[in-house]
Amino acid sequence: MITEIGEDIFRAKQFLDTDELVAIPTETVYGLAANALKIEAVSKIYLAKNRPSFNPLILHVGSKVELKKYVQSIPNKMERLIDTFMPGPLTILLPKSNLVPDIVTAGSSKVAIRIPNNQLTLDLLNQLDYPLAAPSANISGFTSPTSAKHVLDSLEGKIPYILNGGNCQIGIESTIVGYDDMTHRVILYRLGGLSIESIEACIGEAMETKLQHSSPETPGQLKNHYATTTPMYLGDLNQLIQQFDGKRIVVIRFSDEIQIPVWKQYVLSKSKNTIEAAQNLFSTLREADNQSADVILAEYVPEEELGLAINDRLRRASLNNDG
């Protein structure tokens, strides 16, 4: 199959209307989209990504009116989050309506749903009479794509069209939250492109956190996601550099360059900004992985704003992760 890249939403629509896959730009990462209401179309996503069938997909819609069709009801706190942050890097998990096929939720009675903040994809969604199911457009277990080129690198020949929306503005996947009907609290399931601080400021209280890497509710949170091909280690750089003395080392730092000579070094944000660091994270991981090095050594970024989500992804990409 030939993989076309373009900016033509009508071309994208043609493929989607005939149950084919299209990679779509979002503000977080590129998604691998199919008509969410067609089982044959959705099953192609699992096949192309080599994704386990128990790992559910996020539903993407173009508006709040559309969103309401696919959930049963929306608690007040969740409504506030929707009004404040959608479109944006937030996914909410709520009981699904009957319109959502089981293949999308991998059999769960809850659906994860979001409105992506990318004009091209919003225009596309508003031309369709169905929502899109879309996981990140990478082969399962590898780094999420933040440009059309990244998508091509891993899915060329497997999908007919990549809708090119340039580089992703946020650069890290959406934050996933749910709601506990008994306690009436908002639950954080996945750290992502919307900070905890912003969410808690909006709802006026702390969230409950359920970030288990393999909880039944978010089975996709497996430990070794985001793996680089080059072995990667995370921690104190001075120590790690000593440990791998004599090896060809690539270093990923948060802000300042390290003075010890290494093969290659990347800085995520010269201005020490976690938003900028998130934007650069996945493209840096890919570039670092392409340097034919023996190891990639990375340091933690500060645990504030998007720093928590960045550290989560670094931990999953590294071999010395602690779970």
Integer Cα distance of 298 and 242 in angstroms:
14
Q: H or E stretch including 92?
A: strand 90-95
Q: Minimal distance in Å, beta carbon 2 to Mg ion?
A: 25
Integer Cα distance of 8 and 247 in angstroms:
46
Of the two residues 88 and 307, which places its CB atom closer to ligand TXA in the complex?
88
Of the two residues 9 and 112, which places its CB atom closer to ligand TXA in the complex?
112
**Residue whose C-beta lies closest to ligand TXA:** 220
Q: Among Mg ion, ligand TXA, none, what binds residue 91 when CB lies within 5 to 8 Å by partner kind?
A: ligand TXA
Which DSSP symbol is given to 207?
A: P
Interface pattern 111-150 for Mg ion (x via CB under 5 A): -------------------------x--------------
Q: H or E stretch including 249?
A: strand 249-253
Of the two residues 59 and 293, which places its CB atom closer to ligand TXA in the complex?
59
Of the two residues 31 and 87, which places its CB atom closer to ligand TXA in the complex?
31
C-alpha 323: how far from its chain's center?
19
Of the two residues 136 and 146, which places its CB atom closer to Mg ion in the complex?
136
Q: Three-state SS for 202? A: helix
Q: Are 70 and 100 in contact (CB under 8 A)?
A: yes
Q: Among ligand TXA, Mg ion, none, what binds residue 143 when CB lies within 5 to 8 Å by partner kind?
A: none
Of the two residues 77 and 96, which places its CB atom closer to ligand TXA in the complex?
96
Residues in contact with ligand TXA by the rule CB under 6 A: 26, 28-29, 31, 55-58, 91, 93, 105, 108, 110-112, 116, 134-136, 173-174, 176, 217-221
Q: Minimal distance in Å, beta carbon 291 to ligand TXA?
A: 26
Vertex 245: Cα angle to 241 and 246 (nearest 5): 135
Nearest to 284 by CA among 172, 126, 133: 172
Q: Is residue 175 near Mg ion by the rule CB under 5 A?
A: no
**Residue whose C-beta lies closest to Mg ion:** 136
Nearest to 86 by CA among 184, 177, 186, 179: 177
Sequence-ordered list of residues with C-beta below 8 angstroms from that of 166, at least 6 positions apart, any chain:
25, 147, 148
Residue numbers at the binding site for Mg ion (CB under 5 A): 136
